[in-house]
């Protein structure tokens, strides 16, 4: 099972749900774990008020886990419900703390994506997370990370300034960095998906779809043609109003 770490305080639940759905369209079995403090993936799940504090549910073809602070809790849940941890092709882990993924576990991840926005508080929280991971202590050499910046807008501040707010000798940034511009249409589509409790990708911008495609290739190791085909099948689905 490939394990992918999406680290950082930036809001990314919708993006990961879209990514998970596209991966499913490619024939992969996917588990998305929301182990963030805010637990925003809950905003998309149907019949949420009937679910316990921690649960795993099928949504849009993938399994979504919410409410688990650490890996042991998730493993205990599966042991109790199914008697074994199910076999998945990919586990996408969304977290903004060090309880679910420890710094020493990051070298074993298939991919590590650092998720940020340009919001000052998000950058401060990410800097604190970077320190708590103590990457320089656990890795013999800097670990490769992909950087994903969400809700990008033009500012008067330089890229070097934003980069200076998050530095660690234990990280080596991979190129190219991923940037997803803030787009009114994407926000509208996200809100529609929340309130209709589904994931429809038809209205998402070209830049959003390209970001999903790049993440698909990064986390799955599959080629561009497969990514494009799976994304196309996802976009063809139209449900609700």
Percent of the chain with pLDDT over 70: 98
Give CA–CA dist 30/62, Å, rounded: 5
Give CA–CA dist 44/185, Å, rounded: 18
Give CA–CA dist 211/179, Å, rounded: 8
Contacts of 82 (CB under 8 A, 6+ apart): none
Q: What is the pLDDT of residue 137?
A: 85
Residue 138 has pLDDT above 80, yes or no: no
pLDDT per residue as tens digits for the range 21-68: 999 999 999 999 999 999 999 999 998 888 999 999 999 999 999 999
Determine the 3-state secondary structure of 114 from DSSP: strand
Query: pLDDT-based confidence at 98, cuts 50/70/90?
Result: very high
Contacts of 77 (CB under 8 A, 6+ apart): 54, 56, 65, 68
Burial environment of residue 46 by CB neighbours within 10 A (0 to 12, 13 to 18, 19 or more): exposed
Lowest mean pLDDT among 12-16, 63-67, 139-143, 159-163: 139-143
Q: What is the pLDDT of residue 238?
A: 66
Q: What is the pLDDT of residue 241?
A: 37
Contacts of 133 (CB under 8 A, 6+ apart): 7, 98, 102, 103, 106, 168, 170
Residue 169 has pLDDT above 50, yes or no: yes
Q: What is the pLDDT of residue 140?
A: 78
Q: What is the pLDDT of residue 49?
A: 85
DSSP string computed for 176-231: SPEEEE--HHHHHHHHHHHHHTS---TT--HHHHHHHHHHHHHHH---HHHHHHHH
Whole-number mean pLDDT of the chain? 96
Burial environment of residue 185 by CB neighbours within 10 A (0 to 12, 13 to 18, 19 or more): exposed
Compute the half-sphere exposure of residue 238: CA atoms within 13 Å on the CB side of its CA: 4
Extents of the domains making up the chain = 2-236
Region 138-146 average pLDDT: 89
Considering the domain delimited by 2-236, tell me its CATH architecture. 3-Layer(aba) Sandwich (3.40)
């Amino acid at each position: 099972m490939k394990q992918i770490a999406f680290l950082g305080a930036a809001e990314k639940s919708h993006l990961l749900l879209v990514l998970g759905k596209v991966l499913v369209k490619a024939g992969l079995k996917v588990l998305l774990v929301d182990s963030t403090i805010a637990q925003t993936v809950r905003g998309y799940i149907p019949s949420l008020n009937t679910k316990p504090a921690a649960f795993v549910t099928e949504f849009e073809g993938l399994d979504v886990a919410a409410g688990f602070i650490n890996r042991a809790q998730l493993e205990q849940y599966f042991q109790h419900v199914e008697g074994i941890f199910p076999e998945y092709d990919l586990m996408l882990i969304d977290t903004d703390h060090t309880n679910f993924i420890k710094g020493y576990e990051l070298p074993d991840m298939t991919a590590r994506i650092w998720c940020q926005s340009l919001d000052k508080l998000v950058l401060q929280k990410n800097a604190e997370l970077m320190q708590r991971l103590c990457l320089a202590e656990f890795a013999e050499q800097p670990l490769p990370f992909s950087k994903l910046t969400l809700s990008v807008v033009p500012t008067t501040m330089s890229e070097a300034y934003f980069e200076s707010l998050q530095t660690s000798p234990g990280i080596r940034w991979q190129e190219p960095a991923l940037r997803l511009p803030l787009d009114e249409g994407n926000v509208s589509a996200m809100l529609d998906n929340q309130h209709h409790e589904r994931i429809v990708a038809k209205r998402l911008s070209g830049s959003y779809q390209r970001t999903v495609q790049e993440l698909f290739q990064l986390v799955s190791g599959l080629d561009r043609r497969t990514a494009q085909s799976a994304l196309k099948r996802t976009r063809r689905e139209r449900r609700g109003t």
